[in-house]
Every structure is written in structure tokens, then in C-alpha cells.
Amino acid sequence: MKKATLSDIAKELGVSTGLVSMVINGKARQNRISEEMSQKVMDKAAELNYRPNQFARGLKTGRSNTIGLIVADIANPFFGKVARAVEDYAGQHGFYVMFCSSDENPEKSDSLIKVMIDRQVDGLIIAPTEKSENQILSLKKNNIPFVLIDRFFPKIKCHRVVVKNKEGAYSAVSHLIKMGARTVGYVDISSGMWHMKQRFEGYKAALREAGVSFKTSLYKEVQYSLFHEDMQIKISDLISENPDIDAIFFPSNILGIQGIQVLKRLQKKIPDDIAIACFDDPEHFSLTEPGVSAIAQPIQELSRKVVDLLVHDINVDKKEHGEFQQIELGTQFIIRGSSG
Amino acid sequence: MKKATLSDIAKELGVSTGLVSMVINGKARQNRISEEMSQKVMDKAAELNYRPNQFARGLKTGRSNTIGLIVADIANPFFGKVARAVEDYAGQHGFYVMFCSSDENPEKSDSLIKVMIDRQVDGLIIAPTEKSENQILSLKKNNIPFVLIDRFFPKIKCHRVVVKNKEGAYSAVSHLIKMGARTVGYVDISSGMWHMKQRFEGYKAALREAGVSFKTSLYKEVQYSLFHEDMQIKISDLISENPDIDAIFFPSNILGIQGIQVLKRLQKKIPDDIAIACFDDPEHFSLTEPGVSAIAQPIQELSRKVVDLLVHDINVDKKEHGEFQQIELGTQFIIRGSSG
DNA sequence: CTGAAAGCGCTTACAG
DNA sequence: CTGAAAGCGCTTACAG
């Protein structure tokens, strides 16, 4: 069964393809095509099970009604939920979403952006990786609509929607201290990304304000590339170098999830031996016993704002730079058993 | 900066677009285009930062190098991992993957399939919802390459890659009984899907073999549409109607995850009051205390087989029906503390 | 109210 | 070895 085309309909009805095109696209009225004609076209289209060829349409109009979403890892629960929310909101605006995982790798991110642009996405949503500044600048230079989510580069002016990272970490660490912690470790992922630095700033601010001293031995950094092994090593180091350690703050969900497993393996009781809190609140933090105190991000709102900004930019076909929205949303700290 | 086209390159070099096209597509050799000419074209393409327009290419060739993946919910950990694995394997074959969530809704699934086909995907991977038989049959009729994953309709002959559901459930329930359970509840999602029926068969077979009797009051079914409320109600019912209940089997990860929360709320200790086991093994089942005994699915292999089958079908442009692969992979039961 | 025609950017026989 | 031309299926001014 060959797919029906516009000209199949036109031929069968003895009219021009142009007319059929207008009817199909709901422009019958503004082109003053008769009701009767419209109806005949619609009926025939239905009869032939006509579906417009998006390639032809896109080639002609230059639009794909598709947006690209590049995150670190679609299987990470945080990004999984972001992806789902973006899919839903974009769908409401008539856009389809193409997802990709950059694996925190700038080369992969670069090639994904190219692939997306090759596929003529109308715009991009990106959670940028480390060292991808030039990619973002190049999007800007080429006037490709895009919005950054979750992360950003302070020096690059562009649309971005992120959360208050410093404030979020501050509230969690302050709570750990309030619950009695005096030696609070910090297990970071190795990354020059600004949002992670801000979380660390929040941690230090909380210590400072509580008069709790900071030592560099309390700060450990693990490599993304050999994540599982390195977590084990660095947390063991953290504990052996700080025998009096009574709490650890994990500044992201994958760090927290893996960190809990390591602590379990090391036979540390949470919160009795070591209290913990985590940035991000994946589903299962309410399932573990004790539950994990966590900083929940407003994923729905984050996603909605991002889609709104991007769709607006795509539709206005903006030429004028300058009006960049830099949105910071608040987080919510959820207290569960793990913090003591 | 206008995007460069084939004819820009051709014009600057004073050659035809056809020649440029061949060089770009690596067909220089087989068309005996001189090394020198090829090099000049490649250089100019790089200089102009040429990127082929996929719409034009797709319109001409009828191929998009894209496959569609429709799952129940991309935010469900099982499907999240499937999506990631499919993305990776398909990428190795040069295909991009479009993801969509059907929410177990046949109308949504129908419209997603249409959207995917409109976007000219070369083939589809589908975890079909209940009541979507006609959609699958229509794909078959229209000769659109597709493979079913995770679920299938026994009466429809087509490629499918699933796991041994009955066997998996059987081993988990047998283990619960071996650990001392005598009254084993079963909390199901309401669905006529074959794979869920098979899991229930496995459960009953295990009871039968151990000489443990089955009563209908041990089987509860919750609605997907009001999932959270219904879980609470049905599990409470299950326990009050069976005061001697000492184990529950959850035949999917979302049932298990939610079920644990309900049991926690009902102050039931796992495994002392009630032992549990679950089909699917999301990350956090090893994090909870006790860990959850679970049936792990071979997600990588599942995904790889599906992609291999689909890519093969797309590439051979098969006309002859008949040779449908119906693959069943084994599962692995992982014993943790929750089963007693 | 409707038709004819150009053109989006490619690929692919066909000629030479 | 290379060029000229048709055509994929649409949309959109332009005519009438």
C-alpha cells in the first residue's frame, strides 16, 4: 500500500495540490476556499488515509516542530523526570522532543548537538557538560534558539533555568549541623561546573555560620569515568582521614545513591555512625530505612519554564539578542531519618 | 550565517551537485571520481561547514535513519534503562532513537505510532499496551518494520523479544515458600496483558508444586489510573482478609516500589511480618534495608536483540513475511533480605 | 474562489 | 571521470 500524497488527492478530485495543501493545513478559510470544496478534500484525505510527509513539509518550511534535549544521562532519575516533563509540555505546544545523553562528555555533546541540528530541530534544551562553553557560544553565534537547564556558564549570557544551588545545599548542611553533626564530609563529582561549585559554597557557608571548621580532608572528589571504584576509595579515605566524621553531604543523586551503598558496605549505620543528606530527591529516598533527607528540585516548574522560553524564541523568530531570561527556582529540603 | 548547501559547494568549485553529493556520501570511489577532485570537495565542504539537510535527503531516499521507541513510561526505571540501551545500540548502527511514553493508554499509543510514522521513522520498537492489537496488526499490514519488547500478543505473529515471565515469577515465589511462607499474596496491575498473566501462572505453579493452596482473596488487582490510592486500599484488604499472610509477591517494579511504601505505612516489618519479592530489579532494591529480593531482567541483551532484529528488517527491506523471531530470555533471581 | 509554477536541498539514473 | 536533469512531496507567492 503506497502512501497517499497531496497530488493523489488533487488528482482524484481534479483540483490543484495547492488547494489541497491549504485545506489540509487549515488555511481554507483565510484563502476563501468554499466549504463544499474543503469538505470534499477532507473526505478524500480521510479515505486515502493521507498523512503529510514531514520531510517535504520541513524542507519547504524550514521547520520541524521538534526540539532537542541533551542531558547527562537519561537513565539518571533526575534527568528521566525532566525528560518526561519536557516531553509533556513540549507536546502541548505541538513539539516533539528528541532526547540524547551526553555522558558528561564534551566531545559526545558536540556531536549530539551537530546531529540534532542536522535533523533540523527548531531549538535545543541543554544541560551542558564541563568544557562545552564553545558549543554554547557557537549556538548563540548561529542564532539557534536554545535554553540551558540545570547548569550554566556564568560568563555566557543566554536563557537558563536552574535552581538555587547554594541556598539548597546550605539548608541541608545547616540541618545536619543542627542535628548535632560537627565533622561534615563532602563527596563531590570532579567537575568544573558552576552549579556544583555553588553547592559547595552553600556547604561552606553553612559550616562557617555554625562556627564549624572546614578542613580540606573533608572534601573528596570522584571521577565520573571510574565512578563506582572511586566512590569506594574516596569515601574510605574520607572516613580514615577523619575518624571523628559524623555526617556526609552528597551534592547529587548519583553520588548519594552510590554513597549509601558504599557506607552500607563499610558497615556504617545511618544516621547513628554517619548522618547523610543529598541534593536531589529520587523516588527511593523515601523508601530506604531510614529515609534520606534530600533537597527536592521543582522538576515540573523547571521543565515548564524551559519549554516556554524555548517555544517563545522559536516562534518569534527573534533576531534581537539581549533579553535573556536567567531564572533561578527555589528548592525544598525534605527531612527524613538519615540526617539524625 | 546561511547554511551551506550542496550547490554552494558545487558552484564555488565549478562542478555539479551530483558529483559533490557522491563525494560527501563516500561514493567517490565506486563512481571513479578522482582523488584530487574528492579532496577539493571535502576541503570546501569543511570550509563552508557544510551539513547535509536531512529533510532533503530523507525526502529523496525515503529513509530517516531514525527508529521510534514506545514504552509505557520513560521515567519508569525499567524502561529508562531499556531506552538508554536501545539508544546506544541503535547509535552503533547509525540510527537515532525517538522515545515516547504511552502511559499504558491505547489511544495515546495509537497517536504516538501515527506521529512516529509521520516523522518517517524507518522502524518501531514497541512495548505494547493493552488493547493495542489492532495497532500492531496495522503495522504488519502496512509492512512497517517493528519489534515488540517486554510484552506481546500471543495471537499476533511478529518479531518479539521478551523474558521468561512464568519461570521468573515461579523461582521467586518458590523461594518465598522455601523461606517459610505459607500464605503468599499477589498484587497485580489490572491488565489483560499476556506477560502479566504469565507471571501469575508462575506464581500459581510455585504454590501448586509446594502444596500451598491458593485462594482468590490472595489475589488483588489495582488500577493503573488511580494507582497510588488503589495500592493502599488493595494491600490493606489483602492483609485484613488474610490475617495469616506472611509474604507478598509484586509482579512489577512499580508495584513493588509502591507496595513497600504502603507496607511501611501500615507498620509491617519486612521480612518479619511479611516477606516480599518483586519482578524487576531497579537500582534501589539493593539500597533498602533489607534489600529486596528481585527478578532481574537482562536489559542489555533484551535491547541489543531488539535493535539487531529491527535494523536487519529495515536494511533488508523484507517483503516476505513469516520469519518472525520470538525470543525469550532468561531472568536472574537475586536473593536479598526481604524474602526472609 | 482556484490553478499553475517555482523551489526547498538533496540523490540517482542516464549520457557522454 | 564528470555534467545535466528529473523528481522526492510539499508550500507559497502570483495570476486570474
Res B288 pLDDT > 90: no
Residues A62-78, mean pLDDT to the nearest whole number: 90
* Residue bearing the bigger pLDDT, A304 or B191: A304
CA distance B333 to chain A (A): 20
Is the C-beta of residue A21 closer than 7 Å to nucleic acid chain D? yes
Res A322 pLDDT > 80: no
CA atoms within 13 A on the CB side of A225: 2
Q: What percent of chain A has pLDDT over 70?
A: 98
Separation between Cα atoms, residue A318 and residue B193, nearest integer Å? 49
pLDDT band at A240 (very low <50, low <70, confident <90, very high): very high
* Residue bearing the bigger pLDDT, A197 or B115: A197
Res A57 pLDDT > 70: yes
Q: Would you state the pLDDT for residue B322? A: 57
Asked if residue A106 has a cis previous peptide bond (ω within 30° of 0), the answer is: no
| For A98, nearest residue in chain B (alpha carbons) | B98
Which member of B52, B58, B289 has the closest CB to residue A55? B58
Please return the burial class of A51, using the count of CB atoms within 10 Å of its CB with bins 0-12, 13-18 and 19+.
middle
Separation between Cα atoms, residue B151 and residue B127, nearest integer Å? 6
Residue length, chain B?
Answer: 340
Q: Which residues pair with B295 in a beta bridge?
A: B279, B333
Set of chain A residues whose Cβ sits within 8 Å of the Cβ of B253: none
Separation between Cα atoms, residue B93 and residue B309, nearest integer Å? 12
Q: Would you state the pLDDT for residue A44? A: 87
pLDDT digits (tens, 9 = 90+) for B246-286: 999 999 999 999 999 999 999 999 999 999 999 999 988 98
Q: Pull the grid cell for residue A311.
A: 517555544
pLDDT band at B41 (very low <50, low <70, confident <90, very high): confident
CB contact under 8 A, A54 and B87: no
- For residues A147 and A306, the answer to whether their CB atoms sit within 8 Å is yes
- For residues A178 and A186, the answer to whether their CB atoms sit within 8 Å is no
- For residues B250 and B278, the answer to whether their CB atoms sit within 8 Å is yes
Q: Pull the grid cell for residue A159.
A: 536563557
Which residue is the nearest neighbor of D13, CA to C1'? A18
Set of chain A residues whose Cβ sits within 8 Å of the Cβ of B115: 96
pLDDT band at A203 (very low <50, low <70, confident <90, very high): very high
CB contact under 8 A, A283 and B257: yes
Q: Would you state the pLDDT for residue B317? A: 58
Res B32 pLDDT > 90: no
CB contact under 8 A, A87 and B74: yes
CB contact under 8 A, B75 and A80: yes
Residues B228-240, mean pLDDT to the nearest whole number: 96
Which amino acid makes up residue A257?
A: I
Lowest mean per-residue pLDDT among A19-33, A71-85, A188-202, B33-47: A19-33
How many Å from the CA of B262 to C1' of C1? 66
Q: Would you state the pLDDT for residue A294? A: 97
Q: Would you state the pLDDT for residue B174? A: 97
Which residue is the nearest neighbor of D3, CA to C1'? B16
Average pLDDT over chain B reads 92
Res A320 pLDDT > 60: no
Set of chain B residues whose Cβ sits within 8 Å of the Cβ of A273: none
Q: Where are the alpha helices (DSSP H) in chain A?
A: 6-13, 17-24, 35-47, 54-61, 77-92, 106-118, 133-141, 165-178, 194-209, 227-241, 253-265, 299-316
| For B65, nearest residue in chain A (alpha carbons) | A119
Is the C-beta of residue A7 closer than 7 Å to nucleic acid chain D? yes
Q: Would you state the pLDDT for residue B70? A: 96
- Name the nt closest to B33 by C-alpha to C1': D1
**What's the per-residue H, E or C state across chain B?**
CCCCCHHHHHHHHCCCHHHHHHHHCCCCCCCCCCHHHHHHHHHHHHHCCCCCCHHHHHHHHCCCCEEEEEECCCCCHHHHHHHHHHHHHHHHCCCEEEEEECCCCHHHHHHHHHHHHHCCCCEEEECCCCCCHHHHHHHHHCCCCEEEECCCCCCCCCCEEEECHHHHHHHHHHHHHHCCCCCEEEEEECCCCHHHHHHHHHHHHHHHHHCCCCCHHHEEEECCCCHHHHHHHHHHHHHHHCCCCCEEEECCHHHHHHHHHHHHHCCCCCCCCCEEEEECCCHHHHCCCCCCEEEECCHHHHHHHHHHHHHHHHHHCCCCCCCCCEEEECCEEECCHHHC
Closest CA to B264 of A286, A339, A283, A335: A286
Q: Chain B residues contacting A, CB < 8 Å?
A: 1, 51-56, 58-59, 64, 66, 73-75, 77, 80-81, 83-84, 87, 96, 98-101, 114-115, 117-120, 141-143, 257, 260-261, 264, 282-284, 286-289
Subset of residues 306-325 in chain A with CB less than 7 angstroms from any atom in strand D = none
CB contact under 8 A, B59 and A59: yes
Is the C-beta of residue B138 closer than 7 Å to nucleic acid chain D? no
pLDDT band at A32 (very low <50, low <70, confident <90, very high): confident
pLDDT digits (tens, 9 = 90+) for B173-232: 999 999 999 999 999 999 889 999 999 999 999 999 999 989 999 999 999 889 999 999
Strand A332-334 versus strand A293-296 pairing type: antiparallel
Q: What is the DSSP string of A94-141?
A: T-EEEEEE-TT-HHHHHHHHHHHHHTT-SEEEE-PPTT-HHHHHHHHH
Q: Mutate which of A51, A54, A303 to test chain B, going by most B C-beta atoms within 10 A? A: A54
Which residue is the nearest neighbor of D4, CA to C1'? B16
Is the C-beta of residue A65 closer than 7 Å to nucleic acid chain D? no
Set of chain A residues whose Cβ sits within 8 Å of the Cβ of B143: 1
Q: Would you state the pLDDT for residue A15? A: 87
SS3 A191: coil
Average pLDDT over chain A reads 91
Separation between Cα atoms, residue A55 and residue B55, nearest integer Å? 5
- DSSP label at A285? G
pLDDT band at B74 (very low <50, low <70, confident <90, very high): confident
CA distance B205 to chain A (A): 31
* Residue bearing the bigger pLDDT, A191 or A329: A329
The DSSP element (H or E) to which A185 belongs, if any, is: strand A184-189
Which residue is the nearest neighbor of C13, CA to C1'? B18
* Residue bearing the bigger pLDDT, B141 or B164: B164
* Residue bearing the bigger pLDDT, B45 or B235: B235
CB contact under 8 A, B283 and A284: yes
